[in-house]
Structure 1
Amino acid sequence: MKGVILSSVFVLITFLLIARNVCHAWTFSVLPNRVIDYELSSPTFFGNGSDYFKILSMNDNSVLIGAKNNVYNLSLTRLNENRDNRIEWTSSEAHREMCLLKGKNNSDCQNYIRIYARVSERQIMLCGTNSFKPMCRYYKLNPISDNGSTYEMLQEFEGEAISPYSPTQNNTYIHTDLDELYAATSVGFAGAQQLIFRQRLLSPQSNTQTLRTDFRNDILNQASFVNAVEYNGYIMFFFREQAIEYQNCGKSMYSRVARVCKNDKGGSHPFHDRFSSFLKTRLNCSMPGEYPFYFDELQATSEVIDGIYGNDRDALIYTVMNTNDNAIDGSAICVYSMNSILEAFQGKFKNQRDVNSVWRALDDTEVPASPSRPGQCVDDSRTLPSSTINFILKNPLMDGAVNPIHESPLLVHTGSNYKFTSIAIDSQVETMSGKSYDVIFIGTDNGHVLKLINVGSAESLNGNKPIVVSEQQVLPIGTRIKELKISRATQKLIVVSDNFVRSIPLHNCSGLHQCSDCVGSRDPYCVWDNINRECIFYNRTTMSRNAGMYIESIDGKNDDVCGDGVIPTIKMNHHAKINSGQTHGTVSSFGKNPLPIDGSENNEEEELMKNHKYYSVGVLQAPSSQSTSEYFEPQIQTSSASIVALFAIAALIFGVIMGFTLSKCVSLRNDSARSPFLSNDSHHRNHLGWQANPNKHLLQLPTMNNGGKDINLLMNTNSSTINNINKKDNLELEFSLGSKDRTHECKNSNESLDKETCKSAVISASGGTLQKVKKTYI
């Protein structure tokens, strides 16, 4: 038994040490303070099954959605469609037939609107896939009322290099104030090549005003574009691609950021249609350590967020990074400073001498120095020498990577339940305390939306103390959220998938009915009204004068303000209700389509929801008795305590098994050393009672009437006999049941036997009163 205990303790300590190292090797996300069920009452716009919705533009009142053969204009209040503003654009029969002849199916051979640009107050440009033959059009707006207008098509031209061929191909674009359109997309029917293209609008036939990247793998290598932003005189493109510098070791995806100068005019002839300032570098998002763990696949980025973080003012961009599909399931939110990105483009270039060489950083002596550094913005790039243009076309890759501001991800999620897919930021939300936070909304591939804040950002730029305020099931389970967009005017979050457009409120303060619930949610939008005893949205403009009426505790330092001392668990029970103001996006039923509460008519969403199970509502909240540092200590998403408990149970079971085995081995070895009756080749014997009473005489055992038959002590012994002899040693049984003379064995035995026992055995043997029995050792 002692061996069992010692082995169990040793193995348990070993496993706990391993578990401790595992738990502290990662910076895991905290658990959500609130988990909210799916709500059927949220305004929803439905698609036709394969619409591939995409947000084209949004203002304070409406949002434009690009879809299959249509552009929908939806109100932000209830997502009702304004039918007068719908634009219908289908592919011609000739284009559809050619698409089908090339092997595509009917769903592919449609026109999916992907590009939108407002050229002037009365003119827009649209581009679509057009049955795998991209086309663009200019439309003129003809107002017919205060809320509606009709669109008149003015011009049509080919959209290759602007629009993708398929709605499943990742593309991005940006329309600048110089009336120039930058597009990053795939070209060719198979989409095998990618490029970045610039064209001045309203002059699509002017070749002198178009620039593009080269079709070479070291420029763009199977790139998937995510976003494009304008910053400080540059156009920056965020994408992921196969790493050309890693190709000698195999295949690997890297996240990239590339930039071109807005005033780039191309190179001298023959490079007049090539960018002379295209550079790219790697975005590093990894868990630091001796062997970093990388999140290499960029999925989405926010817009550039300008804010004050502690005493620092900086421009940040938030990104969603995932692991490869064949790796451990994981997602991360990494935040980069735009200044760090610009500094990376001032570093060393990376080059490969030949296909058999490793990639290395170029020395400054190998880089052309005059008249300017390659890739630098100049007044007229057409005056640059050919040596500078040749160098930048052959060496666009920078050696240094861009690291996140925290030197690690802001938030990490591991597990197969979902991955992050999209992101939107409500920047610099000011709280009652005067501190401002970026509220981060994260979409997943399982229909969830997470609301996150970084409490540490109010203290310094490098502060990293994330809080997941809530996790809400917004779309059906298994639905991938493609886009998130924030409307501050209506305080709504627009959630978009391929076939759903849904709006949810940025906050749900009224659903928290207790002071501790309201304060404990850590929601920067919410405060507790101590006069009216309700949780309300904090509007600084109208409520700052009476700040003493309201209570909040965003950073956890004021958790006892409600008088409870501990923030209790919050329970949110949102029962799904069918709302009579749903909007359908099917061609046969647009606009307001009342849905009966009694369900007498078919409800597409209700039927869809019947096939799914939804997470129950619950909250995990740390007690306020913890210190701030303890509360914000990063935890594993599935609870580090649970993992340690599993380790402990496994260690205990393993220790018991090992200890039991070792104790048995030791016991057998000791038995063999003590007993002369156990031969070396014998198996384990049946010991009927190790605690025999040495004072009880063997002759006092009841006589066993066996009729002269052999007795098998294991199989043929009746229960009464067992009860009488279950406290006797096997050695005593041999003397009591056998008729053979054992005197010499008593004399020669090394065992310390009771003299009275041997004496009694000799008397019994000589008297012959007991029958001979067969000795059986089990």
Structure 2
Amino acid sequence: MLGLLLWFIGIAWGWQENVRPKMYVQYGLDDMLRFQGNASFVDHFRLLETDRNWLLVGARNKLYNLTATTLQENQGLDWFTAHEHVQMCLLKGRNEDECHNYLRLLAIKSPGKIVLCGTHAFKPMCRDYSFKDGQYVLDKQYSGQGLSPYDPSHNTTAVMVDGDLYVGTVADFSGADPLIYREPLRTEQYDAMHMSAPNFVSSFGHGEHVYFLFRETAIEYMNCGKSIYSRIARVCKQDRGGPHRFKFRWTTFLKGRLNCSIPGDFPFYFNEIQSMSGPFEGKYGGKRHEIIYATFTTPSNSIIGSAVCAFRMEDIEAVFDGAFKEQAGLNANWLSVPSQKVPEPRPGQCVNDSQTLPDITLNFIKSHPLMDDSVPAYLGEPLLIKTGIHYRFTKIAVDPQFRTPDGKVFDVMFIGTYNGKVIKAVNAESTDTATKSVRPVIIEEIQVFSQKVAITHMTIHRRRNPDGTISMESGRLIVMADDEIVSLKLQRCYTDKIRTCSECVALQDPYCAWDKRKSKCVSYNSAQPIAYLQSVQTGVHPSCPDSKVQSRLPSKDNANHPPFVPSSSVAEPSIVSHDVKKSSNRNAKEFMRNDDMVKVISHNHGRESYDDGPRISGDESIPLYTVETLVIAVAAGSLVALFVGFGAGYCCGKKCKKDEEDNLPYPDTEYEYFEQRQNCARARLAQEQKLLQSDEATYAEPILVPALNKPLNTNSRGSPKPQIRKLTNNVIGSTNVFDSSPNNAFPFAEGPRDPYASFRSRDTFSSSARFTPQQQPLINGVNGHTPLDDRDTFGTLRNNKNIGDGFGTARSGKKVYL
């Protein structure tokens, strides 16, 4: 128990603080651009492609072409399923909502040519289109098996690299045949070593390889139970399959584990990857690197936690160049493969002609696709951690390498959640500094959808200028749910809500800076950085006038105190919705105002809170306890409950202690009991009366006694057959040999009966072959003694009329209560 307590305390200290946002935001109707598609049913939107200033969105029976900045619908495509396919889908047991054509894959083959695939009522189909005269023209239609999923709820990823389409999906109706496919190559079919019930997340091309990210059942964990691991797999672009039976199989498929965990002696893992963004090239840690970002969660039945981790491409490549993992036997451990067992050329290495690879290499990579090492997280820990059901991460979009007026570079993260929120966060340590540390800052929390709506897709879109450059001032965040699409600005630098330089800098938002000329907090323009004041790292700028706003950097004074939030700064909970009539906690006129619903939350005592405009309404509550306090309280409560339970059990046992005489023997031999017909329960509550010798119940165990008047056969082999003593044939009456009444005293015992006489007479029996005359049993009143009474007994021996054949029994005076 003490070890468990120490483990919890270690986790608590290693756990990142649940950082609170600087600002809570709920939008008014005029600022948030929304697109709802067909309001009569759920479209199940899926962002398929972004082409310059347009968004290509797959939906139910339709492809939407939307303008990214305004979400205006342009000319799209309608693709319905034939009636006979719908009827067949219904006959297979699917419901009517599933038996439609959900468009799930779009790839641009060349300028003006696209390939579009859909579920087509659980019979996947694909089409090639050409854009001519302002409209799409159908070129051909063909089977989409291996390109599009059957079920619209299945996760699928696809990427077009060098004119080839790479897809991760399932290839059968039941979803039991997952694969990574590029015509005509695929992964091994029904082989858990290659694909073990994967959920695909993303894919991208990099260098000589194409990478796939997914989560799957961990085959190396099977001997310990069942667990989900995050994976990254790769294949070579030049892979053309192998000879003979490897003709339609990948010869370079490898996969490894992504490690997103809280470090320590017992790491806490976030095992289930949910989304990915990148790769992004930039200056990280003082060097040029390529980074990918991903969101991870714990299992749904575990401690609810989410995290954002970053990975360097060079670390990923190092894992694939490292050792392989294998299991020597069915019940053996998974261990690293010795380097001398790895054949040449090395399995997984890109070659000019994969069809010339030897069989030893092909057989090895088929049985050893898993790498031994895991890909470590960049900086050694998650960049952001959130706990609680309201902060379960789904998607992530990253705006990389944004440069601030002071020359620092930051990657701004936008993270979607299951309850319709978008979290905007940044690592306060600049990416281009040599210092490798994590200091997360949550700039704002935006309630985009209803709290019951999960965010399914996100992307950052910036308009392209006529010269082809990207406009940094026109960035929009595109957020998708199953039935709604929202476009919003990347920043909220409001001069009517943030009035001082200190408040503007304290936001630590790379997009916002204090304009010295206008004396306003505005969106930063990189044209004249000298005119702006900003400090993302500390939240304090020396050139700003004195203000009550203080830095959020931890100090000795406030490290142990939770951030202070004025009671007026957090409004009552409400649900964000595009329908104004659904709001019950606010006046409808307040929602119709053009001002954004923004609230700046102070995090230190004495900070001012401006509350002129409409207040935000979030479900954020003031935390009463820290994680450390909760862990210690739970552990202490467990220990107290353990000791209290032990003490209560001990006292109860002392009070209800059994008497030594309550132990009954097991009736595994021919024992005889005399039952005491009394009220035993009441007798035991009162003072127990001492039983007389004649009232004692006795039991006997058989012992070997020599036959009467018969010499022992010392030459016989083995032990004599044990049997109960019997009387001779001339017995006048029969009696119970275990009877202890005074009138039936044992014949060869003079005076009071000794119940243990048989034990004490063993030596006599063994040393003498015959009984003495005084030890002879009473037969027909011989020697002047009274004969035995003829009466029946009702013990285990029943009527003992034939008692006595040369074997005696041992008696015990043990009291027995029945």
TM-score normalised by the chain length of structure 2: 0.67
Helix, strand or coil: the match of 1:160? coil
Residues 667-696 of structure 1: per-residue CA shift (max 9 Å, x gap): xxxxxxxxxxxxxxxxxxxxxxxxxxxxxx
Question: What is the CA distance between 1:378 and its match in structure 2?
Answer: 0.6
Aligned residue type for 1:469 = I
Deviation string 1:166-190 (CA, Å, 9 cap, x unpaired) is: 111011010012x100000012111
- The alignment partner of 2:389 has SS state of coil
Where does residue 772 of structure 2 map in the other structure? none
* Match 1:223 to one of 198, 216, 219: 198
> Cα distance, 1:518 vs. partner?
1.2
What is the CA–CA distance in structure 1 between the aligned matches of 2:528 and 2:278, rounded to whole Å? 30
> Whole-Å Cα distance in 1 between the matches of residues 605 and 239 of structure 2?
57
Q: Which residue is equivalent to 2:778?
A: none
Q: Is the 8 A contact 2:185 2:250 kept in 1?
A: no
DSSP 3-state at the match of 2:373: coil
Residue number in structure 2 paired with 1:28: 17
CA distance in 2 between counterparts of 1:253 and 1:447 reads 25
Counterpart residue number, 1:550: 532
Q: Match of 2:375, SS?
A: coil
SS at match of 1:86: strand
Is 1:184 the counterpart of 2:173 in the alignment? no
Instruction: Tell me which of the two structures has the higher relative contact order, counting C-alpha pairs closer than 8 angstroms and 6 or more residues apart.
Output: 1
Task: Tell me how far apart the structure 1 counterparts of residues 637 and 315 of structure 2 sit (CA, whole Å).
Answer: 51
Counterpart in the other structure of 2:402:
429
What residue number does 2:427 align with? 454
Aligned to 1:531: 517
Cα distance per residue 1:609-647 (max 9 Å; x no partner): 66999999552435899xxxxxxxxxx997586567779
Change (3 A) 1:242 1:612: farther
CA 1:421–1:656: 2 relative to 1, 3 Å: closer
CA–CA separation in structure 2 for the residues paired with 1:69 and 1:656:
61
C-alpha separation in 2, matches of 1:650 and 1:76: 50
* Pairs within 5 Å for 1:49-68: 49-68=41-60
The one-letter amino acid paired with 2:47 is I
CA contact (8 A) 1:57 1:63 kept: yes
Counterpart position of 1:175: 160
| Structure 1 letter corresponding to 2:523 | F
Q: How far is the alpha carbon of 1:325 from its aligned partner?
A: 0.6
Amino acid at match of 1:91: T
Residue in 2 that maps onto 1:521:
507
Alpha-carbon deviation of 1:405? 1.3
Structure-2 separation of matches of 1:30 and 1:290: 24
Structure 1 pair 565–652 and aligned structure 2 pair: CA distance change class (3 A): farther
Aligned-residue Cα RMSD (Å) equals: 3.5
Contact 2:238 2:352 in 1 (8 A): yes
Letter in 2 for 1:173: A
* The one of 351, 358, 379 aligned to 2:326: 351
TM-score by length of structure 1 reads: 0.70
SS at match of 1:98: helix
What is the CA deviation profile of residues 7-32 of structure 1, one whole-angstrom value per residue up to 9, with x for unaligned ones?
xxxxxxxxx99997664231234211
Letter in 2 for 1:455: A
* Structure showing greater Rg: 2
Residue 413 of structure 2 is matched in structure 1 by 440
Aligned-partner SS, 2:215: strand
Post-superposition offset of 1:75: 1.3
Alpha carbons 1:559, 1:565 under 8 Å: kept: no
Matching residue's letter, 2:169:
T
Aligned in 2, Cα 1:644/1:402: closer, same or farther, shift over 3 Å?
A: closer
Do the aligned residues in 1 keep the contact of 2:187 with 2:253 (CA within 8 Å)?
no
2:214 matched residue in structure 1: 239
Task: Give the one of 208, 215, 239 matched to 1:264.
Answer: 239
- 1:81-106 superposed Cα distances (whole Å, 9 cap, x missing partner): 11xx2100011111111001101111
- Work out the CA distance in 1 between the residues paired with 2:640 and 2:304: 34
Letter in 1 for 2:291: L
Q: 1:116 to 1:572 in 2, by over 3 A?
A: farther
Secondary structure in 1 aligned to 2:543? helix
Task: Report SS of the residue matched to 2:256.
Answer: strand
**Cα separation, partners in 2 of 1:18 and 1:409, compared to 1, 3 Å:** closer
Matched, 1:397 2:370: yes
Q: What is the count of residue pairs matched by the alignment?
A: 588
SS at match of 1:509: coil
3-state SS of 1:230 partner: strand
The equivalent position to 1:505 in structure 2, one of 461, 481, 489, is: 489
Q: Which residue of 1 aligns with 2:73?
A: 81
Provide the C-alpha distance between the structure 1 equivalents of 2:460 and 2:289, rounded to a whole number of angstroms.
21
Q: Going by fraction, where is helix more abundant, 1 or 2?
A: 1
Letter in 2 for 1:129: T
In 1, the alpha carbon distance for the partners of 2:161 and 2:270 equals 31
1:309, 1:104 → 2: CA distance? Answer: 50
Taking the aligned partners of 2:406 and 2:211, their CA distance within structure 1 comes to 36
Q: Please tell me the residue identity of whatever aligns with 1:298.
A: I
Q: Per the alignment, do residues 283 and 46 of structure 1 end up closer, same or farther by CA in structure 2, a change over 3 Å counting?
A: same
Residue 302 of structure 1 aligns to a residue in which SS? Answer: strand
1:403-437 Cα deviation digits (max 9, x unpaired): 10121111111112230000011010010001111
2:355 is aligned with 1:382: yes
* Aligned counterpart, 2:805: none
Task: Tell me the SS of whatever aligns to 1:140.
Answer: strand
CA distance in 2, matches of 1:520, 1:621: 10
Deviations 1:492-518 (A, max 9, x none): 000011111001100111253332221
Q: Which amino acid counterpart does residue 107 of structure 2 have in structure 1?
A: A
| Other structure's SS at 2:372 match | coil
**Aligned residues of 1:38 and 1:475 also touching (Cα < 8 A):** no
Give the drift of 1:376. Answer: 0.5
Q: Which amino acid aligns with 2:358?
A: P
1:364 maps to: 339
Contact 1:267 1:381 (8 Å CA) reproduced: yes
Q: Which residue of 1 aligns with 2:384?
A: 411
Give the AA of the match of 2:36: F
Match of 2:119 in 1: 129
Is 2:138 aligned against 1:153?
yes
Q: Does the CA-based 8 Å contact 1:32-1:620 persist in structure 2?
A: no
1:541-596 deviation digits (Å, cap 9, x = unpaired): x323xx1x32111111634432225426899899999x9xxxxxxxxxxxxxxxxx
How far apart are the structure 2 equivalents of 1:363 and 1:128?
Answer: 46
Is the alpha carbon distance of 1:654 and 1:365 closer, same or farther for their aligned partners in structure 2, counting shifts above 3 Å? closer
Q: 1:228 to 1:68 in 2, by over 3 A?
A: same
Q: Which amino acid aligns with 2:540?
A: N
Partner of 2:36: 46
Change beyond 3 A, Cα 1:40–1:420: same
Deviation at 1:259, TM superposition (A): 0.4
C-alpha distance after superposition, 1:122-177 (max 9, x if no partner): 2211000000000000112123xxxxx21111100000111011111011010012
Please state if 1:139 is matched with 2:129.
Answer: yes
